Amino acid sequence: MACSYLCPCSLLICSLLAFLVSGSPIQRALLPVISFDEGYTQLFGDDNLAIHRDGKTVHLSLDERTGSGFASQDLYLHGYFSASIKLPADYTAGVVVAFYMSNGDIFETNHDEIDFEFLGNIRGKDWRIQTNIYGNGSTSVGREERYSLWFDPSDDFHQYSILWTDSQITFYVDNVPIREFKRTESMGGDFPSKPMSLYATIWDGSGWATNGGKYRVNYKYAPYVTEFSDLVLHGCAVDPIEQFPKCDNTESSEAIPTGVTTVQRIKMESFRAKFMTYSYCYDRVRYKVPPSECVINPKEADRLKSFDPVTFGGGRRHHGKRHHRSRAGHVEAISI
């Protein structure tokens, strides 16, 4: 991590911040990682999905023909879901890599969704990462946030994780919580509350991803390859309709977070103050009145004004990544 990124101030504060942001090393060995065949199933992309010899690392690629993706075999109600991801390098404008939870194939009009999305880049520019949440079909209210990162996510694997409980959702990059989304009463059904599967996909988001579609996918640079490893599904698998638990026990591990600690909260605030570039809460074009859970901080509002707001072009909704499994088991790509 480049210290100068974080803090142009004294060395002492600088190294303290460096420690706070980078956190303790990832305890990968303690995480309950299962092989691809045990926990996942290919969604689309035929041989653009390849499983590494270790059975635990998956290569997903995008070329002129198709993207690719996989999903967990089971649906989960709450839990901790994680992957180490290495993104495609160099020119990746328009390329979208998504790591997310959804139940859109079962609940077509009132689905839930929790997203990590990587929105391509133009050579020389940082990757942008986006998080978003939908509950019970609340697709008219996007709750996107976007961030830059303190490292180049195409250089190496980094861990991206979602902790989902019935009262909050926390997004982590490595061990740093970057967003905490708390359930409120006024949110109603907008908080994800039905079982979801975990998905990983790479797809052509030309019309949307990079600066609102300004930069399209250039297949001269294909194939675009992303790698997923150390996949963690730590939750109770449930039947999506009956919501009947199918697991005997979910062994706990110290490597699984249960929420944001005081020390982590300082890291989170430091991350958000430095790296957040967009929050729906401050988007007056989309929301004359911010959604009820938003707590407006004038300093944050001021800072966010300096970033390019075009990516959403007034709140256009994207559907490109919705590669749903139909009940017959074959893959349907739904694009609008």
Ligand X SMILES: *[C@@H]1O[C@H](CO)[C@@H](O)[C@H](O)[C@H]1NC(C)=O
Q: Which residue is nearest to ligand X (CB)?
A: 189
Which residue, chain included where needed, has tokens 């996918």?
A: 217
CB nearer ligand X, residue 15 or residue 167: 167
Question: Footprint of ligand X on residues 49-88 (CB under 6 A)?
Answer: none
CB nearer ligand X, residue 190 or residue 227: 190
β-pairing, 331-333 vs 145-147, is: unpaired
191: Cα separation from own chain's centroid: 16
Dist CA 176 CA 150 (whole Å): 11
Tokens representing 147?
């961030």
Question: Footprint of ligand X on residues 299-328 (CB under 6 A)?
Answer: none
- The verdict on whether 113 is a catalytic residue reads yes
Shortest Å, Cβ 87 to ligand X: 35
CB nearer ligand X, residue 45 or residue 135: 135
Shortest Å, Cβ 110 to ligand X: 4
C-alpha to C-alpha distances, 9 to 12, 17, 150, 269, 310, nearest whole angstrom? 8, 10, 17, 17, 32
Show the binding pattern over residues 120-149: x = contacts ligand X (CB under 6 A), - = does not: ----------------x-------------
Shortest Å, Cβ 193 to ligand X: 7
CB nearer ligand X, residue 243 or residue 335: 243
Question: Footprint of ligand X on residues 229-288 (CB under 6 A)?
Answer: none
Instruction: Select from 22, 41, 73, 110 the one that contacts ligand X (CB under 6 A).
Output: 110
Dist CA 282 CA 261 (whole Å): 26
Residue 158 bridge partners (DSSP): 85
Other Cβ atoms closer than 10 A to 319? 12
Q: Site for ligand X (CB under 6 A): how many residues?
A: 4
CB nearer ligand X, residue 41 or residue 110: 110
Shortest Å, Cβ 108 to ligand X: 11
Return the axis-axis angle of helices 11-22 and 262-275, rounded to nearest 10°: 100
Other Cβ atoms closer than 10 A to 23? 16
> Taking a C-beta distance cutoff of 8 angstroms, is the pair 175, 65 a contact?
no
Question: Footprint of ligand X on residues 218-237 (CB under 6 A)?
Answer: none
Question: Footprint of ligand X on residues 165-194 (CB under 6 A)?
Answer: 188-189
3-state percent breakdown (helix, strand, coil) of the chain, nearest 5: 20, 30, 50
Q: Which of 117, 144, 145, 227 is catalytic?
A: 117
Shortest Å, Cβ 109 to ligand X: 6
- The verdict on whether 108 is a catalytic residue reads no
Q: Which of 113, 144, 145, 227 is catalytic?
A: 113
Dist CA 290 CA 280 (whole Å): 8
Active-site residue list = 113, 117
Site residues, ligand X (CB under 6 A): 110, 136, 188-189
